[in-house]
Structure 1
């Protein structure tokens, strides 16, 4: 239970406990990027611990709200991005309004009407296409915008936050190649998204480097969700010469591939290797634990929130396009290819 002293904690107290200067705490509160990541995390943790809220320092025109907009909210990766945005918003005393527009023009119009009615310090769009009419209306409202994982090429004056999707696709495929797999299937993401195309290009580049011709039959479409992964995995395993490994461009699709493998009477890892993309929390708890490409979803949310807060204060952004590094996380779903161990219907 908070005491009166805790409610009135000052940034001087936060600075002393964090072992930093008061200006450093102020830079964290304002979403500035010129703070070391370790220092920022320490300060933000203390701000959350004390329940610190900025009082009496916000300019009159500030709304104290950030808008976070998704095309859909039925994906675990959305929760990871929300966590990152709320981490920064809470430390800065800014609330977060989360909305989904479901790719419908009526939803977009309603969202814009709500935005005009209550005002906002900034908008963060996730895997969405910022259309010219929407961008023009936001500019008229003087609301800054940041796009996370843009669907298409955004306007040149709109900052974007993403991950190294091409490198991630390359690393996932090269990992399977290093294990001896030569027929590697791909469950691709939605083709209208830049991140999907980049992961596909990384897969192609890895095969090309290894001197393996691309077999179009091994590339199946998906939409990042479980059902499409199951459908694509089933189609791959029904080929006359099915793959011995599958790279799914999202963890959820990888779990769909798991089910396709299971229904065929096979085992993930022992019979078919599977690699995903995202490193959602449940990846480590899957059976077997999923090898995947980690993209820093929480940090992407944090950086988007810091960037839009800086824009709302009239600050310049050093780089309009930021890509955070992905990392291959090897677990038990990917194993070395052994022709003698692979079931007859998967042997070459």
Structure 2
């Protein structure tokens, strides 16, 4: 008895040998032993898929490099913008920058907050997959390898503004010259004659915080001043942290005559601590911030600070994401925009 003939359409194409070198939806479905509509549901972030099935499909999508073709499904006219915290004028500057580009492109924004976590949860990822935005921008956040793979497989480009950690060479990111900013702030204070300069740093888990402190240390070394770990305090980028940390520093037996704050919000906390202790700014204490938020020009006295171009950073990230969406390859995956020291009335020569 002669063997049955197999119709050409019934022959299975091994995964990874599709004509474009990219696994197809049907191949993923066969490997996962589910239907093609089930794979489509997973790709689109649908909730009506069993968790075990979803995990198996996601693993196969990652393993075999599935990537949805551009234009293969309807795309929403949205940019997803996610913050680890969304409660300050700092965040509003970033929103304004992304909104500038979105308006030019006829797009809308979706804002999300990850409740202080530097990595958004799976619920957020599922929402992004369901919305199918033209791109995602993360602020002071990062994604897990699995989350990155999920966005990549759906052809959703992403970029990070001021990444919390080292995003790696393959993740587009936009930052600022934090080290140079810390150097300039501290050099300004040493130039005024300050010799005991304290730092209220942001969280050490964030790359920008570490870079600013490193710049501070380099400025001390250049001025021939010793680095004293006792003059460093760490806290979140909030008023409360600046207040608590500066209270400790200003009540040392030999307190600093100047403080460099990790951001402008911490600097406002320093102002409150100085007021409570009866210290005048800048007569008794010089203060330098970081960010140059609009409010720093209106507090008393106006704050000397390091300007990081938040709006331009956000605009750059948005344009980078849109270029990636159009298939363009960036010349570099890391962009650092320049900081600038802005001298106002909160710094002066030490009175002692």
Same-fold call, TM cutoff 0.5: yes
Partner of 1:196: 209
Q: 1:159 aligns with which of 163, 168, 172?
A: 172
Question: Matches of residues 78-227 of structure 1 in structure 2 within 5 Å?
Answer: 78-103=91-116, 108-227=121-240
Q: Secondary structure at the match of 1:177?
A: helix
The runs of 4+ residues in structure 1 deviating greater than 6 Å are none
Per-residue CA distance 1:60-98 (angstroms, 9 max, x = gap) = 744211110100101211100000000000011011111
C-alpha distance in structure 1 between counterparts of 2:334 and 2:120, whole Å = 28
Q: Check conservation: 2:119, 2:141, Cα contact below 8 A.
A: no
Per-residue CA distance 1:238-274 (angstroms, 9 max, x = gap) = 1000000000010000010011110001111111000
Query: Unmatched 5+ residue regions in structure 1?
Result: 1-57, 340-348
- State which structure, 1 or 2, has the greater radius of gyration over its C-alpha atoms: 2
Query: Unmatched 5+ residue regions in structure 2?
Result: 1-70
Q: Bigger CA drift: 104-113 or 278-287?
A: 104-113
C-alpha distance in structure 1 between counterparts of 2:287 and 2:177, whole Å = 20
Asked if 1:291 is matched to 2:313, the reply is no
Per-residue CA distance 1:284-306 (angstroms, 9 max, x = gap) = 00110000000000011111111
Asked if 1:257 is matched to 2:243, the reply is no
Shift of 1:108: 1.6
Q: Check conservation: 2:84, 2:119, Cα contact below 8 A.
A: no
Q: Secondary structure at the match of 2:282?
A: coil
Question: Matches of residues 218-257 of structure 1 in structure 2 within 5 Å?
Answer: 218-257=231-270
Question: Matches of residues 44-63 of structure 1 in structure 2 within 5 Å?
Answer: 61-63=74-76
Q: Normalising by the residue count of structure 2, what TM-score does the alignment of the two structures yield?
A: 0.78
Q: 1:64 aligns with which of 77, 89, 93?
A: 77
Q: 1:309 aligns with which of 316, 319, 322?
A: 322
Q: Secondary structure at the match of 2:259?
A: strand
Shift of 1:153: 1.3
Per-residue CA distance 1:177-224 (angstroms, 9 max, x = gap) = 000000000001110111000000000000011111111111011211
Distance 1:291 1:103, change over 3 A: closer
C-alpha distance in structure 2 between counterparts of 1:190 and 1:173, whole Å = 19
Q: Secondary structure at the match of 2:185?
A: helix
Tell me how large the CA RMSD over aligned residues is: 1.6
Distance 1:109 1:158, change over 3 A: same
Shift of 1:103: 4.8
Shift of 1:157: 1.7
Q: Secondary structure at the match of 2:336?
A: strand
Work out the number of aligned pairs and report it: 282
C-alpha distance in structure 1 between counterparts of 2:168 and 2:345, whole Å = 42
Shift of 1:337: 1.8
Shift of 1:327: 0.4
Q: Normalising by the residue count of structure 1, what TM-score does the alignment of the two structures yield?
A: 0.79
C-alpha distance in structure 2 between counterparts of 1:114 and 1:305, whole Å = 20
Q: Secondary structure at the match of 2:138?
A: strand
